[in-house]
């Protein structure tokens, strides 16, 4: 299934220079030594979850596939590399024909992960695979951080809709990726039109305080908005006096008023007061939307309040205090010589300070208890997956022979995350700090 088949209207530009210089200088040296064409396996994993997090969320896989497919060096890029003397002429000639022709396996988007989980496996020649390191990590680290924050907020919301509205709090391109990752993690809509256009996400938005302040009175502002957008619109009621604004809103729109939004003050107290006032005025079906620097803890504190939806910005697009996942891209196996038939041998860095890794291509499975609840993330190297774990394997094919085989609608990743989270122990949904909810066991 292609991007066009999924209705994605914007082509992804070349991602070839979304990389660090040393990827190309390593390539040049490997071409010189003759080792560049050795079959190699790289894995993406994290040694630890962000402090206090109970599980991670895989997000950005679809964007990684786009990035791999569009990793191409055009003439202007090659001219830049030559002008800056980044690499020599033979390397430039090799880059001109670059196409990833290998295989990629990984945890499907929306799945949860834990320390050591082989989130992504890239197998190809060293030359083809090493160039993807930076762009793969930049996507997965960012998007997985946003999705993890979104998942925690979705748990805290308890089924109430969540709206992403953080574009003004981050880089303009990061905002589009954040909207996508938030949808995977449990948000239902976004204020970002670029994300709506690129990924087909539902978009929301009505008015800000500036619209009310533009008019001579709040009544004039509300009247203009209702006449333009209909009685089902959302009126912002905290520009001046909330009680007076709610009364005016119902007078103008009637009981068909769609929603009122509260963006400041004691949200818990105001939500109760506004609900009572709306009911007394006959607007029993008018919804209450709250915004104002929410995070998962603020959302949880409003669980008993008569709130119908939440809008979240800053905390979401910054990963709620953890804007990265510390994922790494490490060579774990390489062939003993050039040629497709040369055997693979495990390799791993030996290091002090907690930066150790385990060599060898991994398999991963999630062991379940008698009730079907996950009890361990089991990771093995070499050999066959034990029969009792065969049905719980986590890695799926994403790319075969350079061809994308796992594109899917956004909704599929979103629903997969709901199912994956539901399969974890109940303590996974606690917002209090704690260790990963599943231990990682090495087989």
306 and 200 share one domain? yes
Residues 97 and 161 in one domain: no
User: Is 10 within the bounds of a domain?
Assistant: no
The answer to whether the beta carbons of residues 79 and 89 sit under 8 Å apart is no
- 92 alpha-carbon distance from chain centroid: 34
For residues 118 and 92, give the distance between their C-alpha atoms in angstroms, rounded to a whole number. 32
* pLDDT tens sequence for the chain (443 residues): 555 566 566 667 899 999 999 999 999 999 999 999 999 999 999 999 999 899 999 999 999 999 999 999 999 999 999 999 999 999 999 999 999 999 999 999 999 999 999 999 999 999 999 999 999 999 999 999 999 999 999 999 999 999 999 999 999 999 999 999 999 999 999 999 999 999 999 999 999 999 999 999 999 999 999 999 999 999 999 999 999 999 999 999 999 999 999 999 999 999 999 999 999 999 999 999 999 999 999 999 999 999 999 999 999 999 999 999 999 999 999 999 998 889 999 999 887 666 778 999 999 999 999 999 999 999 999 778 999 999 999 999 999 999 999 999 999 999 999 999 999 999 999 998 889 999 999 98
Does one domain contain both 363 and 433? yes
Give the alpha-carbon dihedral of 111, 112, 118, 121, to 10 degrees.
20
CATH of the domain at 159: 3.20.20.70
Whether residue 11 is contained in a domain is answered as no
Assess if residue 362 is contained within a domain. Answer: yes
Q: Within a domain: residue 15?
A: no
Q: What secondary structure letter does DSSP report for 394?
A: -
**Position 136 in a domain:** no
For 185, how many CA atoms within 13 A lie in the half-sphere containing its CB? 36
- The model's pLDDT over 342-374, given as tens digits with 9 standing for 90+, comes to 999 999 988 766 677 899 999 999 999 999 999
- Tell me, yes or no, whether 73 and 28 share the same domain: yes
Task: Give yes or no for a contact between 323 and 142, defined as CB atoms under 8 angstroms apart.
Answer: yes
Tokens coding 163: 């709206």
- The verdict on residue 8 lying in a domain is no
Give the distance from CA 406 to its chain's centroid. 17
Find out whether 27 and 87 touch, Cβ atoms under 8 Å.
yes
Residues 379, 314: one domain? Answer: no
Q: Of 271, 287, 321, which residue is a domain's last?
A: 321
Whether residue 182 lies inside any domain: the answer is yes
Question: What sign does the CA torsion over 433, 157, 316, 267 have?
Answer: negative
3-class SS of residue 395 = coil
Domain's final residue, options 292, 321, 350: 321
Q: Which residues are within 8 A (CB) of 15 and not within 5 positions of it... i.e. 6 or more apart?
A: 66, 67, 70, 71, 135
Neighbours of 257 (CB within 10 A): 25
Q: Of 321, 347, 377, which residue sits at a domain end?
A: 321
Q: Are residues 308 and 331 in the same domain?
A: no
Co-location of 436 and 404 in the same domain: yes
Structure tokens at 55: 């599980």
CATH number of residue 117's parent domain: 3.20.140.10
Q: Are 61 and 108 in contact (CB under 8 A)?
A: yes
Q: How far is CA 410 from CA 176, 199, 201, in A?
A: 14, 8, 9
Task: Determine which helix (DSSP H) or strand (DSSP E) holds 273, and give its type and residue range.
Answer: helix 267-280
Task: Give the residue among 342, 286, 277 at the shortest CA–CA distance from 34.
Answer: 342
What is the total count of domains within the chain?
A: 2
Pairwise CA distance, residues 247 & 235, whole Å: 12
* Residues 103 and 188 grouped into a single domain: no
| Residues 230 and 210 grouped into a single domain | yes
User: Cβ–Cβ contacts within 10 Å for residue 48, how many?
Assistant: 13
Residue-wise DSSP of 67-83: HHHT----HHHHHHHHH
Q: Is the domain of 165 the same as that of 221?
A: yes
CB 331 within 8 A of CB 41: yes
Whether residue 95 sits in one domain with residue 37: yes
> Residue 277 burial (CB < 10 Å; 0-12/13-18/19+)?
middle
The pairing of strands 396-400 and 374-381 is unpaired
CB 103 within 8 A of CB 97: no
Query: If you ran DSSP here, which 8-state letter would residue 393 be given?
Result: B
Q: Judge if 120 and 204 occupy the same domain.
A: no
* Nearest Cα residue to 308 out of 167, 195, 162: 162
Give me the domain span that covers residue 281.
147-321
Q: Which pTM value belongs to this model?
A: 0.94
- Those residues whose C-beta lies under 8 Å from the C-beta of residue 4, and which sit 6 or more positions away, are none
Q: Is 138 inside a domain boundary?
A: no
d(CA 177, CA 182): 9
């Amino acid at each position: 299934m292609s991007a066009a088949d999924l209705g994605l209207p914007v082509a992804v530009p070349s991602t070839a220079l979304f990389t660090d210089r040393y990827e190309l200088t390593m390539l040049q040296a490997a071409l010189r030594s003759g080792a560049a064409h050795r079959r190699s396996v790289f894995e993406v994993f994290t040694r630890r979850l962000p402090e206090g997090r109970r599980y991670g969320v895989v997000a950005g896989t679809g964007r990684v596939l786009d990035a791999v497919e569009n990793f191409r060096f055009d003439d202007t890029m090659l001219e830049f590399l030559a002008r800056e003397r980044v690499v020599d002429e033979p390397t430039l000639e090799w880059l001109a024909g670059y196409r990833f022709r290998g295989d990629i396996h990984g945890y499907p988007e929306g799945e949860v992960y834990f320390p050591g989980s082989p989130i992504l496996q890239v197998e190809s020649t060293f030359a083809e695979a090493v160039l993807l390191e930076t762009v793969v990590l930049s996507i997965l680290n960012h998007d997985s951080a946003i999705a993890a924050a979104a998942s925690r907020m979705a748990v805290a919301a308890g089924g109430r809709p969540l709206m992403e509205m953080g574009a003004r709090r981050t880089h303009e391109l990061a905002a589009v990726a954040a909207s996508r990752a938030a949808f995977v993690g449990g948000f239902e809509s976004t204020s970002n039109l670029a994300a709506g256009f690129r990924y087909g996400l539902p978009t929301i938005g009505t008015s800000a305080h500036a619209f009310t302040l533009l008019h001579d009175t709040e009544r004039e502002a509300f009247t203009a908005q209702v006449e333009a957008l209909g009685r089902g619109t959302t009126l912002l009621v905290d520009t001046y006096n909330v009680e007076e604004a709610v009364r005016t809103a119902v007078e103008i729109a009637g009981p068909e008023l769609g929603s009122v939004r509260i963006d400041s003050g004691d949200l818990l107290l105001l939500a109760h007061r506004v609900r009572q006032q709306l009911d007394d005025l006959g607007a029993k079906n008018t919804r209450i939307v709250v915004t104002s620097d929410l995070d998962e803890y603020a959302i949880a504190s409003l669980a008993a309040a008569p709130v119908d939806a939440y809008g979240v910005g800053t905390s979401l697009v910054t990963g709620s205090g953890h804007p990265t996942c510390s994922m790494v891209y490490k060579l774990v196996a390489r062939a003993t010589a050039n040629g497709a038939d040369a055997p693979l041998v495990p390799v791993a860095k030996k290091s002090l300070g907690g930066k150790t890794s385990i060599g060898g291509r991994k398999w991963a499975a999630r062991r379940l208890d008698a009730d079907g609840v996950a009890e361990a993330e089991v990771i093995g190297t070499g050999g066959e997956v034990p029969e009792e774990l065969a049905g719980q394997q986590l890695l799926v094919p994403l790319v075969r022979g350079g061809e994308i085989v796992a594109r899917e609608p956004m909704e599929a990743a979103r629903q997969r995350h709901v199912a994956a989270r539901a399969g974890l122990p109940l303590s996974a949904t606690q917002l209090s700090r704690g260790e990963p909810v599943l231990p990682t066991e090495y087989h």
